[in-house]
Each structure stands twice: as C-alpha cells, then as structure tokens.
Structure 1
Amino acid sequence: MPQANVDFSLKETAPNIGGGRVSGSEKLTSSFDLVEQMHFFYVRVVRVRDLPRTRNPFVEVNIGNYKGTTKYFKMDHDPEWNQVFAFAKERIQAVTVEVTVRSKETINDEVVGKLAFDIADVPTRVPPDSPLAPQWYSLEDESGRKGGRGELMLAMWMGTQADEVFPDAWHSDAATVSGESIANTRSKVYISPRLWYLRVNIIQAQDLVPISRNRNPQVYVQAMLGNMVLRSRFSPDKNINPTWNEDLMFLVAEPFDDPLILSVVDKLGNNKEHSLGMCTIHLSKVEKRLLPIPVCANWYNLEKVAQDNQNNMEVKFASRLHLRVCLDGGYHVLDESIYYSSDFRATSKLLWPPTIGVLELGILNATGLLPMKSKDGRGTTDAYCVAKYGPKWVRTRTIVDSFAPKWNEQYTWEVYDPYTVITIGVFDNCHLQEGSDAGGSKDPRIGKVRIRLSTLNADRIYTHSYPLIVLQPNGVKKMGEIQLAVRFTCSSTWNLFQSYTHPLFPQMHYLLPLSVYQVESLRHQATQTLSLRLSRAEPPLRREVVEYMLDVGSNIWSLRRGRANLERLLATCNLLVEAWKWFDHICKWKNPISTMVVHFVYMIFVLFPNLILPLVFLMCIVYGASQYRKRPRHPAHMDTKLSLIDSAHSDELDEEFDTFPTSKNGEVLKKRYDRLRSIAGRMMTIIGDLATQAERLNSMLSWRDPRATPMFLAFCILASIGFYFIPWRLFALGVGFFAMRHPKFRISIPSLPQNFFRRLPARTESMI
C-alpha cells in the first residue's frame, strides 16, 4: 500500500541556473547553463624529478580535513602521475593547500619534500580557455629549506564543472573511497554498440549422407551464434535433398566477434540425434541489406569429421546447404518498449533522417533520499544518475554518503524524432569498497523518470522536481525527489513539423514485418547484448541498471497494470458518456434555451446537410482553442493514481513480483499459473494498445503536444473550407471509391494521417 500523506506530485522549481537569469520561458545558449554553477579547486599533479634515493614515491594533497593521494610506483624515482584532484570550494575551510611527496618504503610514509600555497592566490580558469600550464616547483624539507629534495610539476586553478578534467578527477565528495573503487564514482558517457538483425534464410540441403541408408532422414537445421541457438522446423521432404525456405532471426552487435555455425541434424528417435554436417560463416563477410530486395543465395559446403582406422581425424565435404544470409540494416532494432522508446532510426546511417534539434538535460540534485544500506551502524546512500536517449547513455558521478546529493551535470543529445522519450534513473552505488564486485552485489534502484519530447515546447527551459517512485512487494514507496532542467532546442521548424507526417519506423518494418514472437525474442537478445557490452566498460554500467532503464519484464502479467489500462480506456471513452448525458439533458428540457438552440441547429443540418462537416470542424476549432488556456504546463511524470498503485492489494503485488516461471509449489499449479499469466499478459497489452489509441484521439485537441494540436486545427480550417465547396454526395462517392480501390493502387507504407496519428502523445510514459 502507498505511504500515508506522501506527496507524489510534480513540483515546478526555480533553481539558480544561468547566473539567476533563467525563468520558465527564457532560454540561454551558453554551455552548462541548465545547472547551478559549482566551483572547485583543482590540483593537477604531473610528475617529479631529481628525487633523492626514494622507493615507491607518491604525492599527497591536503586541504583542511580532505586528503587526496596519488598512486605509487614501485622502484621508480621519477614517476609520472598526471592526476587531477578536485575539492569543492563550498567545503574548503582552510586557507592553504599542502602538497607532500612521500615514500612508501617505510611504515609511516617518510616525507621526501613538500610545498604549501595560499588558496587565495590561485588563478581562476574559465573554459574555453586553454588548460593551465603546469610548473616545476622545488620541494622543501620539513624545516622549510630547499635544495636536494627534487622538483614537482603541478598546476592549480579555480574552475567549475565545465572544466574538461572534471569527469576524470578525484573528487573530495568521494574522499572515503580508495583504491580501484574510485573509478566507480566517476561520471562517464557510454555509447551502445550498433545492433543488427541477422536474417538466415534456409532454403535447402543437397546430397546429405545419413547414418543409415535404410531409413529416410528426418532433418532440421540448427543455427548457433554465441550463446544463442535457434532451430528450424523438420523438413517435410524426408530424403537426402530436404527443403525448408524458413527464416531464422538473430541479433548481433558490432564488432562481429562470434561466427554463425549451422548444423544439419538428423533425428534418429529415442531422443538421439546425429549431425550430418556443419558450416561456419563469418559475419564480416555477410552482405548488408538496406532495401527489401532479396540478396543472392549461396551454397555452403557442409563439413563432416570422420575417423579412419588409424584414428586420424579427416574433414570431408559430402553435402551442401543453400542459404541466403544478410544483415538487415533497414530495421530499427528494438531494445526498449515501443511505447516509450528513445529512438526509431534504422541501423544503417544511410537511412537516418535529418536532425530536428538538440535535447539538453541538466541533472541538478536530489532531495529526501532514503537510506539504502547500512554503514558503520547508520543508514547511508551513495547515489548516482543514469540517463538514456538513443544510443547514448550518461552516468553522473557518485555522491558518497549524502541524502541530498548535488550533481549539477549537463548533457546533450541530437534529436531525430519528437515522439521519443528520455529516461533518467537513480541508483545507489554498492561497489565503493574493495572486493565488493566479488560478492555479486547489485546497485538497488531508487527511482525513474520519463519525459516525452513531443510534450515540450521548443526553446523553453523546464525546471521541475520529479518524485522518485519504486514499487515494492509491500506497496509503492517514495524514495525522494530529483530536480531536473530540460530544454528541447529546435534547429529546423520545417523538419520538426514534417516529421509528424513520416512513418514512425523505417520502411522495412512495414514491407517485411516481423512477427510478434520475433520482436519479443529479438528484444530479449538486444537487452542481453547491451547488458553484456556495457558491463565491460570502465566503470561498468551494470546489468541491473541496464535492465531497469530498458524496462525489462514490463510485458509480464500484472493484474494491477491490466486494471490500470482498462481504467485508462474507460476514462477516455467517458466523452461518449458525457455526450449522452448532455443529450439526455436536452431531451428533458432542463435548459430551454439550449434545447431551442439544438433544435435550430438540427433543423439546419437536416435542411442543409452540406454544412454538417464544416460545422463539426468549426466546433473542433472552437473547442480546441478554448482548451488552450487549460493546456498542460509541465511534462508528464509517474502517476500513482493512473497506475492504480494506491488500490493494489497485497495478493496482486505478490503475483506481480512473482518470478516467471512461478515459484509457487506444485507442478500442476506452475503450468496452469504460467499459462494464465502468459495469456493475460497479451490481454493486458491489447487493452493498453486500445487505451493508447483512445488517448491519442483525445490529445489532438488537448494541447498535450504543442505542435500537433495547431497542425490539426490548421487542418480543420482547411477541411471546413473544403467541405463547404465540395458537394457532400461527391465527397461520399469519392471516399467510398477510395476505400474500395484496387490493390494495385495500394501501398504498404502508412499514409500521412496514420503517421500523424501514431505520433500523438498518449499517457504510456506516465505508467509505472
């Protein structure tokens, strides 16, 4: 059940960004204008030289209670570190900074030499100025005498988070983290590998050599790519020249490391199988297809390993396999849910549409975070943010031990389509201690925010505080709030409006559509591939983070989500109920003046039927214009009431958090329960689709999309004028003939009204 008296609403804020010059309707163009400026004292330690006989030297930077230490190099008298330390200016309580060179050869780390500087004398650097040149400084001994202690090259300056060394610097916010774990606290940008659909069209085999010539072989083809294995159906031709003409679809990522291995397998019975040959295809040699034109088919020799009397292995080429293999670059590889995807472009860059603008995100701070783990007998949280849009993932630095972390980091993405969603997730870092990776600990989720770009006005800065909501087995829980600043800058208004008329997906999705099973299977492969690739980065973007951002498991049955989608559908259809109530009021003469007006309008419609459609469109114009003042002023957010979290029962949550397959006792119960959940999951998806279509109809006049509604109102004006001059009978005849036109005059690509309608916003991004 939800927490009592907890505010889950969205709040508009007024952060001090852009030097305090930014309001909700203003715009700025300088870099880092969407975040509050933070000042840091930077110390760059480069190298030392001419040290006395010293083993394992390292450098220690001290400012008040903060201390940063470089790595030490064994048996190196003149090491080079080139390491940057960043101390938050607001936390500096000292007037001097001490830089000490120590030796690791003794227990107490003997002091080799040291330097001291007044912080007030340090210069200020403002990008895009070039980096400050480091200087050589003669080291002093503990009594302040110079000479014979060596020299240290370093640079010091006052800067902000706009400095280019900021992401890789050691921060005083993470002073308690040491060793290799310090890499897990840094902010990074990740790029997803380019994903391709691999289509393997199995045509036929020739001259197979079965294990026994007294039986007809019953064969199928098994394809293996990495750890993914698919198999074809059994060939209906039970002979040595079987045919299939079947497609197998894989998902592959660049670079193509794993080869495609195909095997022709004969099923002998009694659960025994025998391989009749295999072939290996390297994907770097596979043709890339951009258009729905069949590629050339090739014959591949099947290798069969035989053993002679002397136990020597011999490779024989006895059979052939006829295949058509290609990398389909005309598809968009689905790794996210279609309802809140951040990208719809094809894999091939040759098919990408022009950019329509730039999306800028300022991750300011979080407040009221709850303790996520226990440390030294008290609760603590080490929070960081991850944002995803298109193939670009960003990760902020980790603020250690803070329930109100301040990140103030800004990131930018290119936008190709307004009907896209950016996702921001907040996590607790559990990998800040040495050896924490070995325990298999996971970074727990704190909350997630989705923002659809089509609901944003261009060139306006949106500053809001979003609630961080997590659904747990015992109910919904507010984990805190995150403050964001978002701006969508349009570079080409013409391209922006033109994108509403284009198909949502590339043409290949409509000309050669994939089945529902293929889409789900390939999306599962995509999430697994992305999790594996991003977990190999440094610092890694872990599997649990990637799966939460991609919303893995959202299609599993949930009674709560099913009821929520049904409520969405009924709420949208409530317009028909309201119209019927209004007509009932007219019939009952509760307002005589309104009833007389309706009688007059009805008489006009009957006597002059050619005015029906113009007046209907004019009514749409009047209603749409009247709704302008009521238009939404802020982006959508996670809505607990819309998701029916506040009314979910404990048994419903227990079912929703149950594993798939179920963990309940009893084999019969498991089979029936999983079958029911699978069927109900599809029903939930269908209900959600119906609700989405109904919400899109409602959004045409609700100004949810500040560009789509004016476009529809402009169409209404033209339609009202056109229907005034075009006779109704002629229009009806044209519409009927057009609907019954010959298939030769039909195209598989969606029409302009369909493209416009599919881009209208719904409330799917507000679902939890």
Structure 2
Amino acid sequence: MGSQANPNQDDYKVKDTKPKLGEQWPHGGVRGGGGWISSERITSTYDLVEQMYYVYVRVVKARDLPPNQVTGSSDPYVEVKLGNYKGKTQHLEKRANPEWKQVFAFSRDKIQASVVEVFVRDKEMVARDDYLGRVVFNMHEVPTRVPPDSPLAPQWYRLEDRRGESKIRGEIMLAVWMGTQADEAFPDAWHSDAATARGDGVFSARSKVYVSPKLWYLRVNVIEAHDVESADKSQLPQVFVKAQVGNQILKTSMCPTKTTNPFWNEDLIFVAAEPFEEKLVLTVENKTPSREETVGRIQLALNVFEKRLDHRPIHSRWFNLEKFGFGALEGDRRMELKFSTRIHLRVCLEGAYHVLDESSMYISDQRPTDRQLWKQPIGILEVGILSAQGLLPMKTVDGRGATDAYCVAKYGQKWVRTRTIVNSSAPKWNEQYTWEVYDPCTVITLGAFDNCHLGGNDSGPGKDSRIGKVRIRLSTLDTDRIYAHSYPLLVLQPSGVKKMGELQLAFRFTCLSMANMMYLYWHPLLPKMHYLHPFTVSQLDFLRFQAMNIVAARLGRSEPPLRKEVVEYMLDIDSHMWSMRRSKANFFRIVSLFSGAISMSKWVREVCHWKNPITSILVHVLFFILICFPELILPTIFLYMFLIGIWNFWLRPRHPPHMDIKLSWAEAVHPDELDEEFDTFPTSKAQDVTRMRYDRLRSVAGRIQTVIGDMATQGERFQALLSWRDPRATCLFILFCLIAAVVLYVTPFRIVILGAGLFLLRHPRLRSKQPSIPSNFFRRLPARADSML
C-alpha cells in the first residue's frame, strides 16, 4: 500500500499535556540586583502560555558621533551583541545624529553571557567597519519590567572605547530591560530566534495579525437594452451581455430573438471587497456567424451602487453605453458616446448575506457582511500556541535538513501568524491570541508551515511548505475549561499519510451569556437572506472560489505577506475536488451509520429465538403493557432516549475531535488512488480522449462524493443528539425528551395526533419561509467531518 503504516497508532491521537500555564508574575515594575521592588503579585493576562523571558534592547538614536577622517561624515549603525547572537540596525548614510527606533529581543534560555554589548560602528564599503564606541550592561543589573507598567524610559549613555573609558565623542540613547512575550515591544522586535534572517526575511519572521477584507455580494440584474445596432445594418442583432469585475466574468444567455430591444432579466452575482478597487464593466456583444462584435460598453464604479441590508426592492436605472467606431483612416480607433443605446440595470451590494470565503463544512464565521446586522458576541475564544515537537526537516540548508516553523490561526475575519523560529525541530512560540465568538457552531483552524522566505541561502522551494493542520469545533468544548493537548500534524503526500510532528496548544472558550448561546441553537445557521433568496449550488461554488482568491490576494499584499499557498491550505480550497480516498471515507461513514440498525436487528432476532430467556420474557411483558396502554408508547420512547443520553454522559469524549486517519481512509489507500488524487485538474495525461473522459468522471464523481458526505453528515448529527459531543445541544435535547415524556403522558393520545396533523396541514399563510426550530437545532449539531483530512 502507498501509505506509511505506523504500528504505534497512539502517534496519531491527541495527547494530554501539562504545560506550566498561568503562573503568577511579581508586580512592581522593575527589579535591580537587590531583588524585587514590591512584593505585590498579579496574574498574567497570558495565562494560556508558558512564560518566556527576553532581554530587550531598545536602540532609539545617537548624537554627536565623530565623522570619518577620510570622508568627513559617518554612516552609522548599531550592533547589539549578547553571547553568540548579534543584531544590527540599518546603517544611515551621512548622519551625525541618527535615529533607529528599533528593539532587539534575546531569549534568556539561550543566553550564555553575563554582559550586553551595544556597539556603534561606521559602515565602510571596502575596508572593515570603523569602531565608534560601545556601551556595556551587566546582566545582573538589567531591570525587569512586567506589563501593564509603562515602558522603561530610554537614557543617554556616553560611548566608551575598547578599554572602557569614556573618552570617545558621542552618545547613544538606549533602554535595556528584562521582559516576557507579554511586552508591547515583543511583536515588532528583532528576535534572536530568527537571527539568520536577512533583508526582507526579517519582517517575514515576525508575528502579525491580519484581517480579512470585507466582502460583499454584487448582484447585477440585467433587465433589457434599447436601440441596439449591429455593424451590419441589414441584420437585426442577437446579443448577450458580458459582465466583468476584476477577474470574474459572467455572461447572460443569448437573447432568443433578433431584435434591437433585447430582454434578459437575469441575475449575475459577483464578489467584491472593500475598498472597492475594481469596476463593473458591462459589454453588450452581438453574436455573428464569424465572430462576436462589441455593440456597446460601460464602466461603473462599485461605490456608486446602493447597499442593501434586507430584502427590500432596489430601484432600476438606465445607463448610456459607449460604442466603438472606426475613423476614415485604417487603424484610427475612436470612442464616441451613443446616447440612443441604453441598458436597463438593477445593481446593489448585498450586505445581509454571509460571504462564504471557505468550505461550508469548516465555516468559522456566520455573520452577515454589514456590521449593522451583527449581534453581541456570546463568548471569547483564547488560544495559546505553545510549541511543536519532533518536526521533520522541510528543506536543506548548507547540506543539512532544517525547519523554520511558524503557525497560522484563522477564525472569523481575524488571521494570526506567530513569529518564525529558525532551524529548530522543537520551536517554542508561547503566543496567545483572542477572538470574539458570535456562534459556537464554528471551527477554528490552525496550521503549521515552514518559512521559505527568510532571505538566507536555503535551497528549499519558493513556497512555504505545509507541515500540518488542526481544526477544532467550538461547540464540542466545555465552557470556561482550559484544554491543553498535543495534536499530531498529519499531511497526506503522494507516498501516503505522514506525521510531520506534534503541535501543542492550550485554549479556552469563555461564555459571556449562556442564555444567548442556548438561544442561538433555535435560530438559522446563516443570515435569513440565504433562505429568503438562496443561491444555486453552482453559484455558491463560483462565489466561494472567487472569494478565496480575493482574500488570498489582499492578504498577500500585507507586510509581511500571508502567502496564497498558506491561505489556500487554511481554507481547504481542494476539499470539493474528486478523490477516490474521500469517496471511500464518505461511503464507510454512511455504512457506520447503519451499524446501529444492524445491531438492533440482531438483538430482535436473539429475543425471538430466546437466546436469553430473561430478556425475552421482559420484552414480552413490555409488549403486553404497551398493547394494553398504547398511550405509553411515545412517553416510553422519549424516556428511553433520555436515559440513553444520561448514560452516554459518562462515555462522552474527553478530548476535542481531531484528524482521524482511519475515518479519512488515509492509512490503507492504494498508490494509484493517491496518484489520481494528486494529479492536476484537468489531468496531465497525454491522450486527449482519456483526458476528456477522465475529467468528466472526476467532475461527476466529485459531486457524488459531496452528496455522500452530506448524507453522512446528517446521520452523524442524529448520533450527536445523545453522544454529548456538543454538551449544550445534548443537554437541551434530553431536557426536551423529559418534558415531552411528561407532556405526552398527561395528554390524551388522540389530542396529540390531532394537534400534530393540524400543524402539518396548516395553511401556507401560517408558514414561515425560514427554517423551523427543529431544523435549526439539527443543523447546528456537530458531525465527524471535522475530523477528516
């Protein structure tokens, strides 16, 4: 088989860890050689990470630096040295009073020196850099600062010569202190963990927070056009409209008749991001036997269109088209306004939808686009990205394997990126991030990557390599509980599934209002516009793909950029592609759903055959009771489900679900199936006929695979009713079962049947277009899709 079978299956499971989280830090601001200034103690706000101490050196500016004896000016820069680690500022040309305003951070765990040396040098292009002076700090005298105390004020220090005498002209303003990763200077500081980064790679190694662009649906309703003329005056035009927004191109259908006043009344849906940089370009084209000729064209800025926050109607408008004509001379092209040709449009920016920028199975945000429609958050998600263990080498540097790892976390519109730890198979980040939670039935995704843009002499690929990914559904978490686990980082490769290491995380889901959270379980999963005016499946696929491209392009323009390969991996861009492995996995998910019915049929057969006489006698007694008192049938069923739910409480999962290689069918996949899964789409096969048939098969089979997966998801949600995977949902359901059992017990059975029948046969005016409460509750239940690779 193609996969790498590991005899120790525990390597693929989530493991409990016991990190030293939430330790108390001494308060009082600074500490000298004589001990702590104050004995008062506070608790760190970074209570989901381990404390990491750093020596911070803030280089602000210098003054009165001596000029070079040859050039008469100086090009100064500062070099901060602590043991074997050196950090340098940028050199500034011809500055006697330079300003750098840069912070250096040295990890205390790797310090093997007792002094901090700050050198000021003059940059030389040919010879060795001139020595201008230095300042030395004793490590035992460095003060300790604990936030939220104010930053340590920098001071002027006289530069000393190599003998330690202050005979050199010039001063430098510095601040040196001991702090933790909670310090405000931590994110933008130069870190000794990435000391080998060069050039722009220094910025790529820093931790950053990104925000996804605000996405809107642009609805273009093309109604009709008037006075359309073709180049051939003897023929009536048969036209269609082509609309383009950026790289998105959609077309209306061809007008069925040849006329100068064509009519379409078709909706074209695009994705647009604020700030609106692209324009809506509409082109009316005439279909001729030889080619398609442009009849008219118009460009419209998106910010002129109305933003719709509900289902109220939008007024239509007429727009004049610009028509291209040719002058007397060949090749002389001019543009003229033809006011007699007009197009009738109804255009708006939809703000009441949620723009699906990811796969709907792993959705992390369900709010509509416009902030006016947002409700108050119901919780806070805090995630501590602690460390990784046993990372495999991802590239070769100087003939040796190396890994420059960083983590990316995505939830809602907020993306976070940790700093890069250079050349370490066991990096320690210990960075904590917080998100507001508006719906518990959402998923946070965390991925580990190898940084290939540090500016060094690496021979790795031009793209950041994926190390592994973790997905956690918030509804499977208990509130106000700290989870500290080690997650295996699994990646599917052409040779099979491979464990790349382990990622240690700590997270906590804090509930702000339990009543509001329970209230959400009875409401639709998406904003109501998705149900009042739904999109088709093909439209959703197109819009999701375009939204992902827009998000990747905008995040790639940040500094440092969050690259496209990272965004695509985090958003599972290939989750809808055909795969024999995924199809098998979804098939066996469905098969496992029928295992309960099969077990029940075996039990009935054993009762009928008196395999256990006591059980058969009890069943006969229960059967006679229910026949004599039929009103007890439904209460007994609900009471039985209530007792099963209570019993399963003791068997509930202790760990959040994670990637399951057995469920994903990744440990026994055939090499030919993996070759097919990693094949390009369209296929790279040579034969044209084979390519056509193969691509058609993959396209159809991909849709079948999605349908099978959806069926499996619905069945797994039924199982989740009593399995306590979502503690709050199961609690609500068993309470409903208990109440239903009592109500049905005291209510005559005929009344129950009459009420149910009248409810099902009620008039359409008494029905709502939005999903019912049971449907909303059911759609929020977790499925095992979160645990699939």
Under TM normalisation by the shorter chain, which class is it? over 0.9
Measure how far apart 1:148 and its partner are. Answer: 4.7
SS in 1 for 2:169: strand
1:89 aligns with 2:108: yes
- 1:515 corresponds in structure 2 to 536
- 2:610 corresponds in structure 1 to 589
- 1:405-435, Cα deviation, whole Å (9 max, x unpaired): 0000000000000000000000001111269
Letter in 1 for 2:207: S
- 1:439-467, Cα deviation, whole Å (9 max, x unpaired): 97001100000000000000000000000
SS in 2 for 1:593: helix
- 1:324-357, Cα deviation, whole Å (9 max, x unpaired): 0000111111111111110111111111132110
- 1:25 corresponds in structure 2 to none
- 1:53-95, Cα deviation, whole Å (9 max, x unpaired): 1421001111111111111011122110010000001111111
1:18 aligns with 2:37: no
- 2:654 corresponds in structure 1 to 633
- 1:288 corresponds in structure 2 to 307
Contact conserved, 2:397 with 2:458, CA < 8 A, in 1?
A: no
Cα distance in 1, alignment partners of residues 642 and 100 from structure 2:
68
Equivalence map 1:353-364=2 (5 Å)? 353-364=375-386
Contact conserved, 1:3 with 1:477, CA < 8 A, in 2?
A: no
Letter in 2 for 1:377: G
Letter in 1 for 2:64: D
- 1:2 corresponds in structure 2 to 4
Shift of the 594–3 alpha-carbon distance from structure 1 to 2, 3 Å rule, reads closer
Q: Please point out which of 421, 434, 445 is paired with 2:443.
A: 421
Q: Please point out which of 54, 61, 64 is paired with 1:50.
A: 64
SS in 2 for 1:140: coil
Cα distance in 2, alignment partners of residues 41 and 97 from structure 1:
9
- 1:236-290, Cα deviation, whole Å (9 max, x unpaired): 23200000000111101000011101011001112x1111111111111110111
Shift of the 30–584 alpha-carbon distance from structure 1 to 2, 3 Å rule, reads farther
Return 5+ residue gaps in structure 1 as ranges: 22-27
1:680 aligns with 2:701: yes
Q: Which segment drifts farther, 300-309 or 689-698?
A: 300-309
Letter in 2 for 1:168: D
Cα distance in 1, alignment partners of residues 48 and 456 from structure 2:
35
SS in 2 for 1:645: coil
Cα distance in 2, alignment partners of residues 431 and 140 from structure 1:
38
- 1:640-673, Cα deviation, whole Å (9 max, x unpaired): 0111111110011111111111111211111111
Letter in 2 for 1:679: V
Contact conserved, 1:573 with 1:694, CA < 8 A, in 2?
A: no
Measure how far apart 1:20 and its partner are. Answer: 8.7
Letter in 2 for 1:63: L
Return 5+ residue gaps in structure 2 as ranges: 26-41, 68-72
Letter in 2 for 1:2: Q
Contact conserved, 2:532 with 2:770, CA < 8 A, in 1?
A: yes
- 2:712 corresponds in structure 1 to 691
- 2:171 corresponds in structure 1 to 151
- 2:34 corresponds in structure 1 to none
SS in 1 for 2:159: strand
Q: Which segment drifts farther, 236-245 or 384-393?
A: 236-245
Measure how far apart 1:30 and its partner are. Answer: 4.4
Cα distance in 2, alignment partners of residues 47 and 539 from structure 1:
25
Equivalence map 1:320-335=2 (5 Å)? 320-335=342-357
- 2:206 corresponds in structure 1 to 186
- 1:580-621, Cα deviation, whole Å (9 max, x unpaired): 111111101111111111111111111111111111111011
Measure how far apart 1:215 and its partner are. Answer: 1.4
Q: Please point out which of 74, 81, 93 is paired with 2:93.
A: 74
Contact conserved, 2:353 with 2:530, CA < 8 A, in 1?
A: yes
Equivalence map 1:391-540=2 (5 Å)? 391-433=413-455, 441-540=462-561
Measure how far apart 1:303 and its partner are. Answer: 1.1
- 2:29 corresponds in structure 1 to none
SS in 2 for 1:479: strand
Letter in 2 for 1:295: I
Q: Please point out which of 213, 228, 245 is paired with 1:208.
A: 228
- 1:165 corresponds in structure 2 to 185
1:101 aligns with 2:120: yes
Equivalence map 1:236-315=2 (5 Å)? 236-270=256-290, 272-309=291-328, 313-315=334-336
Equivalence map 1:554-565=2 (5 Å)? 554-565=575-586
Q: Please point out which of 550, 572, 590 is paired with 2:571.
A: 550
Cα distance in 2, alignment partners of residues 688 and 284 from structure 1:
40
Q: Which segment drifts farther, 716-725 or 400-409?
A: 716-725
Cα distance in 2, alignment partners of residues 83 and 477 from structure 1:
41
Measure how far apart 1:308 and its partner are. Answer: 4.3
Letter in 1 for 2:422: V
Contact conserved, 1:308 with 1:314, CA < 8 A, in 2?
A: no
Cα distance in 2, alignment partners of residues 682 and 20 from structure 1:
54
- 1:500-556, Cα deviation, whole Å (9 max, x unpaired): 111000001000000001000001101111111111101110010000000011111
Q: Which segment drifts farther, 171-180 or 648-657?
A: 171-180
- 1:342 corresponds in structure 2 to 364
Q: Which segment drifts farther, 273-282 or 137-146?
A: 137-146
Cα distance in 2, alignment partners of residues 190 and 282 from structure 1:
27
Letter in 1 for 2:517: L
1:665 aligns with 2:665: no
- 1:681-728, Cα deviation, whole Å (9 max, x unpaired): 111111111110111001110000110111001101110111112222
Letter in 2 for 1:33: D
Q: Please point out which of 145, 169, 172 is paired with 1:125.
A: 145
Cα distance in 1, alignment partners of residues 333 and 439 from structure 2:
61
Q: Please point out which of 125, 131, 154 is paired with 1:111.
A: 131
Give identity over the alignment, percent.
Answer: 56
Cα distance in 2, alignment partners of residues 98 and 312 from structure 1:
69
Q: TM-score, normalised by structure 2?
A: 0.95
Measure how far apart 1:309 and its partner are. Answer: 4.1
Cα distance in 2, alignment partners of residues 415 and 239 from structure 1:
55
Cα distance in 2, alignment partners of residues 240 and 75 from structure 1:
72
Contact conserved, 1:40 with 1:86, CA < 8 A, in 2?
A: yes
Contact conserved, 1:141 with 1:149, CA < 8 A, in 2?
A: no
1:41 aligns with 2:63: no
Letter in 2 for 1:66: Y
Q: Please point out which of 397, 402, 406 is paired with 1:384.
A: 406
Root mean square deviation, CA, Å: 1.6
How many pairs align? 760
- 2:596 corresponds in structure 1 to 575
Cα distance in 2, alignment partners of residues 231 and 186 from structure 1:
44
Shift of the 435–313 alpha-carbon distance from structure 1 to 2, 3 Å rule, reads farther
1:199 aligns with 2:203: no
